[in-house]
Structure 1
Amino acid sequence: MGILIVSWCFLYPSTKMTVEVERKFVCDAEIMRKLQDIGAECVGEREFGDQYFDSPDFLLTLKDFWLRCRDGQWELKSPAVSEAPAETLCTRYREITSLPVIQSEVSKIIRESNCSQRKQIGQTEDTPICSTGDTKWLNELGLVCFAEFRTQRCSYVLEREDGAVRVDLDRADFGYCVGEIEVLVPEGGDVNAALQSITSIAEQLGLNSEKKVKGKMDVFLQRNRPDHYNKLLSAHIL
């Protein structure tokens, strides 16, 4: 059984940033039937590749920042601040897709971390602001690829009165499958409503687990980068 991703995508102007609220889960053999029963329509299949980048000492991911390039398109996920109550089964990330903004955010994190380290050993030189070159900025900031994998995805859409629900069935090339319910809201929007929507959809699909399910990145790191994985566990990031 493949990965299930339910995505409720609100349409907002591209200039606005969004917050991704999501819950992962394990699919059972009945998921496809349940999707059909609630009226989900298959809208196509595709395959894509992801590369994730960080410094050798994990300056980004230890702060819960995830820099990704998906088939040439850059995205930075950062922890989202919200007044909504914490939900142990869900994660919340602010999504940035503008490359100049991504470069500025990442440069700031690296620079602040390096400044803190230099103060401890009496150095003062600053990390340079990154260039606009396609990959030169990665080298300038000392970023390297720590994870790379491909995913096969079959997508469904379910039309609802309160918005269209997208359902993605994914399978990573390292053999892991996991489910995900995702709601995108505008930054500063109603995250609590998103959490309620996720709970409602999960109930319709019969997902009653109270245990948080590992995502693709968790499993990839556990299998292939155990040192990195253990550091993130110790920092309570994963």
Structure 2
Amino acid sequence: MTVEVERKFVCNAEIMGKLQDIGDFILTLKDFWLRSREGLWELKCPAVSGTTPDNETEALCTRYREITSLPLIQSEVGRIISEHTAEGSESNSSQREQIDKVAENKDTEICSADDTKWLTDLNLICFAEFKTKRCSYMLKRDGAVRVDLDQADFGYCVGEIEVLVPEGGDMNAALQRITSTAAELGLSCEKRVKGKMDVYLQRFQPDHYAKLLNAHIL
């Protein structure tokens, strides 16, 4: 038998915001980004290059490994949270990491209840949800180069030039193909353009955006 002790209070939007702020952003502050796109889960992990960008082209590009196997995603996320708890930083079991849950070109529910049980088990909740209309083009430039044009429903439009490189592959060749494609499109190489999530956080989660800047994630 248990004894329930509780205190009621009037709930409002400010309280909801404070509860979300209390959450510990374990994943994103380590540069791991979990998202659901068209019903499929993806985990973007920082690619270890071992060097800092030494030229303008490298500085304009981001590098991430993408894990799309759900068992591997669950294993990796569980590992990160376990390591964080072991480090003794905010080991309260009620911590809730907040994840990027992005629905692209879909008006239906992203996942069924069964698909999200593992999120509850790991105390994960969504911190960003938006829809994107995407136009994609595949170009042949000594290998496949993908160009995506994204229009987010919060009013931001951004393009991406992407080349997939196997781990240990020729990164310089990929950078050259990206630079060549950018030149064909008439793009200038002045500064890195913010991604959708960067802009979303800056507009709607400024406190967490500031934390990511301070941690040199963004």
TM-score, normalization by structure 1:
0.67
Supply the AA of the counterpart residue of 1:149: F
**Candidates 145, 152, 168, aligned match of 2:126:** 145
The aligned runs of 1:55-74 (5 Å cut-off) are 56-74=23-41
Whole-angstrom CA distance in 2 between matches of 1:195 and 1:157: 16
Change (3 A) 1:85 1:112: closer
Whole-angstrom CA distance in 1 between matches of 2:52 and 2:214: 24
Partner of 2:160: helix, strand, or coil? strand
Supply the AA of the counterpart residue of 1:232: L
Whole-angstrom CA distance in 2 between matches of 1:56 and 1:189: 38
Q: CA RMSD in A?
A: 2.1
The structural deviation recorded for 1:155 is 2.3
What's the CA shift string for 1:155-199, capped at 9, x where partnerless? 223334x22333322100000011211111112211121111111
1:82 aligned residue: 49
Partner of 1:134: helix, strand, or coil? helix
**Candidates 33, 55, 70, aligned match of 1:99:** 70
Q: Relative CO higher for 1 or 2, CA cutoff 8 Å, sep ≥ 6?
A: 1
Listed as ranges, the gaps of 5+ residues in structure 2 are 1-21, 93-113
Number of aligned residue pairs: give it.
172
The structural deviation recorded for 1:74 is 0.6
Whole-angstrom CA distance in 2 between matches of 1:139 and 1:158: 41
CA contact (8 A) 2:145 2:161 kept: no
Whole-angstrom CA distance in 2 between matches of 1:110 and 1:181: 32
Supply the AA of the counterpart residue of 1:116: E
Listed as ranges, the gaps of 5+ residues in structure 1 are 1-54, 124-132
Moved over 6 A (4+): none
Change (3 A) 1:196 1:85: farther
TM-score, normalization by structure 2:
0.73
CA contact (8 A) 1:56 1:143 kept: no
The structural deviation recorded for 1:150 is 0.5
What's the CA shift string for 1:61-81, capped at 9, x where partnerless? 000000011121010000101
The structural deviation recorded for 1:142 is 1.1
What's the CA shift string for 1:60-106, capped at 9, x where partnerless? 00000000111210100001012576221110000100000000000
Supply the AA of the counterpart residue of 1:176: Y
Partner of 1:181: helix, strand, or coil? strand
What's the CA shift string for 1:188-238, capped at 9, x where partnerless? 211121111111111222222321111100000011111111100110111
Percent identity over the alignment? Answer: 72
> Going by fraction, where is strand more abundant, 1 or 2?
1
Partner of 1:220: helix, strand, or coil? helix
CA contact (8 A) 2:44 2:65 kept: yes
2:81 aligned residue: 110
Whole-angstrom CA distance in 2 between matches of 1:204 and 1:224: 35
